[in-house]
Amino acid sequence: MDVIALGWWQLALAALLVVALAGCTAIARLGMGKSLIIAATRTIIQLALVGLVLEALFASARLHWVALMALAMLLIAGREVTARQQRRLLNGWTFGIGTVAMFLSSFTVTVLTLTLIIGPEPWYRPQYAIPLLGMMLGNTMTGVALALDRLTDTAWRQRAVIENRLMLGEPWQLAVGDIRREAMRSGLMPMINAMAAAGVVSLPGMMTGQILAGTSPALAVKYQILVMFTITLGTGFGTLAAVAAGSRRLFDDRQRLRLDRLSRPRG
């Protein structure tokens, strides 16, 4: 099946439609027109630059370049986790916890998937490694960000309840147990919803892209199932690790609630 090439004028037409949408939001005084234009501009610039980088990376296919690209993606994802928090842990703890949690989950699951399941030669072949890691990090980043935000915000709102439980002799794990469970649920829910709706409500992005590129639907389905399962694993383990480390940071060695380790709410 031949792939229909897209010209720049076709992309420009799609961009004009986004500009029209921004105009409609401005007329309706929603205050989102500027954000739409900035986001669309960033999309163009970022994806164009990534395309150039991937072209060079695919041509060289060296492990150290793949590792450098993966490290850059991880650090940017860690920054995005920090930026999405209303009450972040001070002194870089949110960035550290988020980055380490994503590294332990996303990188581990990606390497296992490449070496044990897909099996490209070499195993770090960038055509497989970078897209898979990107999808893993993107979804894990969302789960970790949602979980940490729910954890810190709920702990702040329910600080009196937590302190009363501590005074009654409960260890910190029990005093904050309900909050930790809700935080984990928040981080996992988007991925659970995505799996439940896959193929019924919507066609996932990777599967759609492969079909548009000429891959047979049967093969595209197999890859999509694999990707969704691996993303769920990465998101799940990353969320669990982030919530465990984040909740521990909210208490000191004497099991006192330390909300002074949280920043002021943003906005």
**pLDDT at position 146, please?**
94
pLDDT at 54 over 70: yes
pLDDT value of residue 59? 86
Query: Which residues are CB-neighbours of 46 under 8 A, at least 6 positions away?
Result: none
- Residues 84 and 149 sit within 8 Å (Cβ to Cβ): yes
Dist. CA 73–CA 79, nearest whole Å = 10
Full-model pTM? 0.83
End-to-end CA distance of the chain: give it in Å, rounded.
51
User: How far is 161 from 158, CA to CA, in rounded Å?
Assistant: 5
With cut-offs at 50, 70 and 90, classify the pLDDT of residue 191: confident
Beta bridge partners of 202: 198
CA separation for the pair 130, 118 (Å, rounded): 14
Domain segments of the chain as ranges: 1-60, 63-261
pLDDT digits (tens, 9 = 90+) for 245-263: 999 999 999 989 999 998 8
Average pLDDT, the chain: 88
More confident residue, 210 or 190: 190
